[in-house]
Amino acid sequence: MTLQLRVYVPEHPLIKHWLGIARDASTPPVLFKSAMTELGRWLTYEACRNWLPTEETTVETPLAACPATLVNPEVPMAIVPILRAGLALLDGAQTLLPLASIYHLGLVRDEETLEANCYLNKLPSKFDPETRVMILDPMLATGGSIMRTMDEVTTRGANPGLMRIVAVVAAPQALQQLSQNYPSLNVYTAIIDEGLNNRGYIVPGLGDAGDRAFGT
Ligand code: PRP
Ligand code: URA
pLDDT-derived band at 3, boundaries 50, 70, 90: confident
At 49-61, the pLDDT tens digits run 999 999 999 999 9
Average of per-residue pLDDT across 152-156: 98
- Note down the domain range covering 27: 6-51+76-214
Query: Would you say residue 131 lies in a domain?
Result: yes
Q: In the 8-state DSSP scheme, what is residue 161?
A: G
pTM over 0.85: yes
**Active-site choice (148, 154, 156, 208):** 208
Are the C-beta atoms of 36 and 89 separated by less than 8 Å? Answer: yes
Query: Would you say residue 56 lies in a domain?
Result: no
**Residue type for 165, please?**
I
Query: Would you say residue 26 lies in a domain?
Result: yes
- CB of 141 within 6 A of ligand 2: the answer is yes
pLDDT score of 2: 81
**Residue type for 93, please?**
A
Query: Would you say residue 67 lies in a domain?
Result: no
At 172-185, the pLDDT tens digits run 999 999 999 999 99
Q: Considering only CA atoms, which residue is closest to atom 8 of ligand 1? A: 145
Residue 3: helix, strand or coil by DSSP? coil
Q: Give the Å distances, CA to CA, from 74 to 10, 77, 132, 145, 152.
A: 29, 9, 11, 31, 24
Cα–Cα distance for residue pair 52/77, rounded to 1 Å: 9
Are the C-beta atoms of 51 and 71 separated by less than 8 Å? Answer: no
Contacts of 1 (CB under 8 A, 6+ apart): none
Are the C-beta atoms of 158 and 150 separated by less than 8 Å? Answer: no
The answer to whether residue 208 is catalytic is yes
Residue 22: helix, strand or coil by DSSP? helix
Percent share of the chain, pLDDT over 70: 100
Query: Would you say residue 57 lies in a domain?
Result: no
Percent share of the chain, pLDDT over 90: 98
- CB of 138 within 6 A of ligand 2: the answer is no
> Does pLDDT of 85 surpass 80?
yes
Query: Would you say residue 119 lies in a domain?
Result: yes
Question: Nearest ligand, CA of residue 147?
Answer: 1
Query: Would you say residue 182 lies in a domain?
Result: yes
Atom of ligand 1 nearest to the CA of 174: 12
The answer to whether residue 113 is catalytic is yes
Radius of gyration for the chain, computed over Cα atoms and rounded to the nearest angstrom: 18
> What CATH code is carried by the domain that includes residue 102?
3.40.50.2020
Query: Would you say residue 63 lies in a domain?
Result: no
For the chain, what is the domain count? 1
